Structure 1
Amino acid sequence: MKPKIYITRKLPEQIVNRLRGNYHVTMWEQEDIPVPRDVLEKEIEEIDGLLCLLTEQIDEALIEKAVNLKIIANMAVGYNNIDIHSAIKRGIMVTNTPGVLTETTADLTFGLLLATARRLIEAEDYLKSGQWETWSPMQLTGQDVHGATMGIIGLGRIGEALAKRAKGFDMDLVYFNRSRKYEQEKELGIEYQPLEKLLQVSDFVCVMLPLTPETTYMIGADQLDLMKETAVLINTARGGIVDEKALYQALKNRVIWAAGLDVFEEEPVSLDHPLLTLPNVVTLPHIGSASIATRLKMASLAAQNLMDGLAGDIPRNLVVL
Structure 2
Amino acid sequence: YSNVNYEKEILAPLKVELIVAHCKSEEEVIRICKDADVLLICYAPITKKVINSLTKCRGMIRYGVGVDNIDVEAATARGILVINVPHYGAENEVSDHALALLLCGVRNILFLHQKVRQGVWDYRVARPIFRIRGSTLGLVGLGNIGKMLARKVGVLDIKVIAYDPYRKREEFEREKVEKVSLEDLLQRSDYVSIHVPLNQGTHHLIGEKELRIMKRTAVLINTARGPVVDNQALHLALRNKWIKSACLDVVENEPLSKDDPLLELDNVIITPHSAFYSEESCATLQKIGAEEASRLLRGHLPVSIVNKEAVANFLSRFPLAKRDNNFESY
Q: TM-score by structure 1 length?
A: 0.91
Instruction: Tell me which residue corresponds to 2:263.
Output: 276
Instruction: Tell me which residue corresponds to 2:315.
Output: none
Unaligned 5+ runs, structure 1: 1-8
Q: 1:210-249 to 2 correspondence within 5 Å?
A: 210-249=197-236
Mapped to 2, the partners of 1:35 and 1:310 lie a distance apart of 25
Instruction: Tell me which residue corresponds to 2:27.
Output: 38
Mapped to 2, the partners of 1:93 and 1:47 lie a distance apart of 14
- Look up the SS of the partner of 1:79 in the other structure: coil
1:83 aligns with 2:71: yes
Shift of 1:146: 2.5
Shift of 1:17: 2.2
Shift of 1:270: 0.7
Mapped to 2, the partners of 1:209 and 1:171 lie a distance apart of 21
Mapped to 1, the partners of 2:302 and 2:165 lie a distance apart of 27
Instruction: Tell me which residue corresponds to 2:99.
Output: 110
- Deviation track 1:1-37 (CA, whole Å, cap 9, x = no partner) reads xxxxxxxx663313322213314233336xxx65554
Q: CA RMSD in A?
A: 1.7
State whether residues 81 and 305 of structure 2, in contact with CA within 8 Å, keep that contact through their aligned partners in structure 1: yes
Mapped to 2, the partners of 1:23 and 1:173 lie a distance apart of 51
Correspondent of 2:82 among 89, 94, 113: 94
Shift of 1:249: 0.7
Correspondent of 1:164 among 126, 151, 159: 151
Displacement over 3 Å in runs of 4+: 9-12, 33-39
Mapped to 2, the partners of 1:254 and 1:96 lie a distance apart of 39
Correspondent of 1:288 among 275, 279, 299: 275
* Closer, same or farther: CA 167–160 of 1 in aligned 2, 3 Å: same
Shift of 1:119: 1.4
State whether residues 215 and 241 of structure 1, in contact with CA within 8 Å, keep that contact through their aligned partners in structure 2: yes
State whether residues 217 and 243 of structure 1, in contact with CA within 8 Å, keep that contact through their aligned partners in structure 2: yes
Unaligned 5+ runs, structure 2: 309-330
1:50 aligns with 2:39: yes
Q: 1:50-69 to 2 correspondence within 5 Å?
A: 50-53=39-42, 55-69=43-57
Partner AA of 2:67 in structure 1: Y
Instruction: Tell me which residue corresponds to 2:115.
Output: 126
* Closer, same or farther: CA 11–318 of 1 in aligned 2, 3 Å: farther
1:20 aligns with 2:34: no
- Deviation track 1:292-311 (CA, whole Å, cap 9, x = no partner) reads 10011111111111111222
Count of residues in Structure 1 that have an aligned counterpart in Structure 2: 306
Correspondent of 1:303 among 290, 304, 326: 290
Shift of 1:182: 2.2
Correspondent of 2:126 among 127, 137, 140: 140
State whether residues 25 and 45 of structure 2, in contact with CA within 8 Å, keep that contact through their aligned partners in structure 1: no
* Farther off after superposition, 310-319 or 246-255: 310-319
Mapped to 2, the partners of 1:34 and 1:10 lie a distance apart of 16
Partner AA of 1:119 in structure 2: N
Q: TM-score by structure 2 length?
A: 0.88
State whether residues 26 and 47 of structure 2, in contact with CA within 8 Å, keep that contact through their aligned partners in structure 1: no
Mapped to 1, the partners of 2:174 and 2:274 lie a distance apart of 29
Instruction: Tell me which residue corresponds to 1:70.
Output: 58
- Deviation track 1:87-124 (CA, whole Å, cap 9, x = no partner) reads 11111111111122111111111111111111111222
Correspondent of 1:255 among 222, 242, 246: 242
- Look up the SS of the partner of 2:226 in the other structure: coil
Instruction: Tell me which residue corresponds to 1:3.
Output: none
1:199 aligns with 2:191: no
